[in-house]
Amino acid sequence: MRPRPPTPPRFPTSSRALASTLGATDVVVYLIDFGQTSLEPIPDRSSHAELPRSEDVANTMAGGAFAGRCTVMAPQPDGVRVWVPVIEGSDRTGVVALTVPDAPPAIIEACEELGILCGLLIAARARTTDLYNLYRRRRALSLPASMQWDLLPPLGLDTANVSVACVLEPAYEVGGDCFDYALNNATLDLALIDAMGHDLTAALIASLALGSYRHDRRESRALDYIHASLDDVVAKQFPGAHATGQLACVDVDNGTLTWTSAGHPPSLLIRAGRVVGALELAPTLPWGMGAMGGDLSVGVGTETLEPGDSVLFHTDGVTEARVPGGERFGADRLADLIGQYADEPIEPKELVRRIVSAVVACQKERLADDATLMLVRWNGSPS
């Protein structure tokens, strides 16, 4: 009989059985929560063992494995405790913790492969069960937030020559923010959308805008056409409403970036660990308002990236957040914050996680508006 992947309730048991071939014990699989701050254990229903506690990303060994996307080890009385990241495709989504009698390179490599295998098994089942979604929740999602998370691609993509990293806050209440990307041959397509409002209507506008974008992108439409079409569909379906945002394309062979903007804050160009400028473009009205006076004229910007350059797209919930005293967080403070982290040897996904965590901390954990970041790093031509 052909072997079949384990069902979600049996997944921890299967993971523990695989780990036992390495002599491993005390195996726990954690998934990152929607807020990217806590690692939540997948319960093992086959035993009556007490559920392991959550692990903070900021100050635990498990969090270090997740944040650094690396193996972390610590000696224990009964062996070596090992934490390895769970990898789904190129996206880190959790951590496997296990104790092995000894930790020679071959055993560590096998532990790392177990993390990859766990990611593959989770990805294979995630579209047919709600359990993995529920394991990631520290509290209930609002209806708009639930709709938005179901729309989104993975939070990260890593290839040899380009990386994408995204984050949304407040993760459990986000309403009108969304993003999308797709790597098709030598073209990386990107979209960041911020729909008016913070309620269910905002989620509906964002859903329509994202659907329009994906439809035209898959029809191989030009960027200015996609932009104008998106404006038209929002205006017709939601009269009086609007959405801001940016659409972009990166030629991953030569680093050419093209983009449009619909009344949105300019993205930031990061080079050699610091912000060197904003990618300005002649202003275009938000989607839903641009064609009110007739045909929409869409401006398209172009920038040639250098190997190692990053571009940070963000919604106004980042720069317009209020720091203590009432002052806005602002573009200058955001640029300074990027400079603090961008020089460190950390992955793009960890960079955006740290940035948005700092913005949230300034707001005392309560944002007045959705804050979304999307970072694109071009590593250079494949040749």
% of the chain surpassing 70 pLDDT: 91
Domain boundary among 135, 170, 202: 135
Query: What whole-number distance in Å separates Cα of residue 76 and Cα of residue 78?
Result: 5
| Residue 297 in tokens | 């004229």
- Same-domain check for residues 212 and 265: yes
| pLDDT surpassing 60 at residue 1 | no
Full residue range of the structural domain in which residue 278 is found: 143-378
Distances (CA, A) of 88 to 84, 171, 275: 13, 20, 31
3-class SS at 347? Answer: coil
| Residue 246 in tokens | 């940016």
Beta bridge partners of 108: none
| Residue 197 in tokens | 């409002």
305 within domain boundaries: yes
Q: Provide the domain count of the chain.
A: 2
| pLDDT surpassing 80 at residue 262 | yes
53 within domain boundaries: yes
Query: What whole-number distance in Å separates Cα of residue 181 and Cα of residue 179?
Result: 7
Contact 162, 378 (CB under 8 A): yes
- Same-domain check for residues 121 and 149: no
What's the whole-number mean pLDDT along residues 141-152? 91
Q: Tell me, what CATH number does 43's domain have?
A: 3.30.450.40
Q: DSSP of 190-254, one letter per residue?
A: EEEEEESSSSHHHHHHHHHHHHHHHHHHHTT--HHHHHHHHHHHHHHHSTT--EEEEEEEEETTT
259 within domain boundaries: yes
160 within domain boundaries: yes
13 within domain boundaries: yes
2 within domain boundaries: no
pLDDT tier at 187 (50, 70, 90 boundaries)? very high
| Residue 104 in tokens | 């020679």
Q: H-helix or E-strand containing 79?
A: strand 79-88
| pLDDT surpassing 80 at residue 138 | yes
Query: What whole-number distance in Å separates Cα of residue 206 and Cα of residue 192?
Result: 10
pLDDT of residue 139: 87
**Angle subtended at Cα 76 by Cα 70 and Cα 80, rounded to the nearest 5 degrees:** 40
For the chain, what is the mean pLDDT? 88
| pLDDT surpassing 80 at residue 29 | yes
The candidate with the shortest Cα–Cα distance to 181, out of 222, 147, 214, 224, is 214
- Same-domain check for residues 194 and 103: no
Beta bridge partners of 372: 168
Query: What whole-number distance in Å separates Cα of residue 201 and Cα of residue 241?
Result: 9
- Same-domain check for residues 223 and 243: yes
| Residue 59 in tokens | 């100050």
Residue range 70-108, pLDDT digits in tens: 999 999 998 999 999 999 888 889 999 999 999 999 999
| pLDDT surpassing 80 at residue 44 | no
| pLDDT surpassing 90 at residue 251 | yes
What's the whole-number mean pLDDT along residues 126-132? 87
Domain boundary among 107, 135, 163: 135
Q: Tell me, what CATH number does 270's domain have?
A: 3.60.40.10
- Same-domain check for residues 119 and 243: no
383 within domain boundaries: no
- Same-domain check for residues 14 and 151: no
- Same-domain check for residues 147 and 282: yes
pLDDT tier at 204 (50, 70, 90 boundaries)? very high
Contact 289, 335 (CB under 8 A): no
Residue range 271-315, pLDDT digits in tens: 988 999 999 988 789 999 876 555 678 899 999 999 999 999 998
- Same-domain check for residues 156 and 127: no
- Same-domain check for residues 127 and 156: no
What's the whole-number mean pLDDT along residues 337-357? 84
- Same-domain check for residues 131 and 167: no
Most confident of 171-180, 210-219, 286-295, 330-339: 210-219
E strand map for 33-114: 38-41, 55-56, 72-76, 79-88, 91-100
pLDDT tier at 254 (50, 70, 90 boundaries)? very high
Q: Is the dihedral of CA 347, 352, 358, 360 positive or negative?
A: negative
25 within domain boundaries: yes
| pLDDT surpassing 60 at residue 229 | yes
- Same-domain check for residues 154 and 112: no
| Residue 160 in tokens | 């040899």
pLDDT of residue 43: 84
